Structure 1
Amino acid sequence: MQDSQINVMQAPNREAQISDILAQLREKKFSIVNPRRKNGLILYKPYHAEFVGPGAVVGSEIDTDVVKVISVGNLSLVTPQTTKEKINAYLIRRQWVRLTKQITDNPIALQRAQVILNQFENWFDPQTTAQLPDEAFALLVGVLPQTIRKVRNAYIG
C-alpha cells in the first residue's frame, strides 16, 4: 500500500484535513485507514455514525452519505495496490461494523455508553477518547449525548 494522494498528516490544519477527506469521499475514492497506526475516522451519516478503524476501507460507494468526519488518533490513509488488499479492507470494515453492532445490541443505554467509551480507551488511550465529542459516541451506539456525558462524569467523579 502507498500513501494516498491525501495523506492527512500533511494537511496544514485539522479543518483542511477534514475538508480533504470529505472531498475524497464525495469523489468516491477508495482508501484504507493505515493498519500500522492507532488511527481511524468517525463518519457521521444522516441518522448514525460509523467508526472506521485501522485496516478498514473508507470511501468508494459505501460512504457517499457522509455529512461530517472526525479523525481519531494520528490519521493516515493509504491506497491499496492489489485487489486482495481491497477485499481485505472491506472485510475489516465489516468487522468494525459488527463490533459496534455487538455494543448496540445491549438494550441498556448507559451500558452501551460505558462500553463504547471503554473500547475507545482500549483502542487508543484516555486522552484521545476525552477529546472526542459526546455526540460522536452517542451516534455510534444509539444513545443521547447526555447519556455519554453522564457516564463520563461518573467515571471522572
Structure 2
Amino acid sequence: MAQTLSSCFLRKVSDVLTQLSHGQSLIVNSRRRNGLIIYKQFHAEFAGPGAAVGNLFDRDCKGVLAVGDLSLVYPKAHDERQKAYLIRRQWIRLTQQITDNALPFQRAQMILNQFENYFGAELVSRLPSEAFALMVGVLPQTIEIVRYCPDHPSIKGRN
C-alpha cells in the first residue's frame, strides 16, 4: 500500500500545487471521500479517490482546490501507479459524459448532482461555482442559476 503523506507540508494548497507542477507522482487516497480539482489554463479536471495526480498529467496546472479532507499518498509500486492512471481516466470520462450534453443548464445540474451524491450538499455548497463551470464548459453564472434559482425559466423547460 502507498505511504500516506502525513506531514503537514502537503496540507497547504500551495504545497500541493508545487508538488504537481514539479511532476511529483501522487495518488488521491482511495480510502477517503476526497479529491482534487485541478485548474488548467482553460478548464478544470477532477481527480477523485484512487486517481493519479502529478507527473506528466498536471505539470501545466494553474491551481488546485481540495475537495473533502484531502489525503494524497505516494505510489510504492509500478502496478499501483498504473491502476491510479486508469482511475484518473475514469474520472475524466465521467466528466466527459456530462460535457457531452449540449444543454449548459443540464451540464451544470449534472455536475452538481454528481458531486452532491458523492460528497453531500453541504460540502458542495462551499465549492466555488467557477470550479464546476470549468469542469463542464459552462459559465459560472450558469452554475449559480442552477444552484440558487431552481425556478429560473431556463431550468424549468429542461427534462
- TM above 0.5: yes
CA distance in 2, matches of 1:122, 1:155: 18
* SS of 2:122 mapped into structure 1: helix
CA distance in 1, matches of 2:18, 2:141: 31
Give the C-alpha shift of residue 11 in structure 1.
5.1
Which residue does 2:157 correspond to in 1?
Answer: none
Which residue does 2:61 correspond to in 1?
Answer: 66
Which residue does 1:129 correspond to in 2?
Answer: 124
CA distance in 1, matches of 2:151, 2:34: 25
**Deviation string, structure 1 residues 8-54 (Cα, Å, up to 9, x no partner):** 7x359xxx611110110121000000000000000010000000000
Matches within 5 A, 1:44-55: 44-55=39-50
* SS of 1:113 mapped into structure 2: helix
1:38 aligned to 33, 37, 46, which one?
33
CA distance in 2, matches of 1:122, 1:78: 25
Q: What is the alpha-carbon root mean square deviation over aligned residues?
A: 1.8
CA distance in 1, matches of 2:64, 2:150: 27
Which residue does 2:155 correspond to in 1?
Answer: none
Code of the aligned partner of 2:3: Q
Give the C-alpha shift of residue 155 in structure 1.
4.2
CA distance in 2, matches of 1:26, 1:11: 15
2:93 aligned to 90, 98, 117, which one?
98
Larger Rg: 2
Q: Does 1:82 align with 2:42?
A: no
TM-score of the two chains, using structure 1 as the length reference: 0.91
Which residue does 1:23 correspond to in 2?
Answer: 18
CA distance in 2, matches of 1:52, 1:156: 32
* SS of 1:63 mapped into structure 2: coil
CA distance in 1, matches of 2:92, 2:37: 12
Which residue does 1:147 correspond to in 2?
Answer: 142
**Deviation string, structure 1 residues 52-85 (Cα, Å, up to 9, x no partner):** 0000000001101100110000100001111110
CA distance in 2, matches of 1:54, 1:133: 20
**Deviation string, structure 1 residues 71-128 (Cα, Å, up to 9, x no partner):** 0001000011111100000000000000000000000000000000000001101011
CA distance in 2, matches of 1:122, 1:112: 15
Query: Structure 1 or 2: larger helix share?
Result: 1
Gaps of 5+ in 2: 153-159
* SS of 1:64 mapped into structure 2: coil
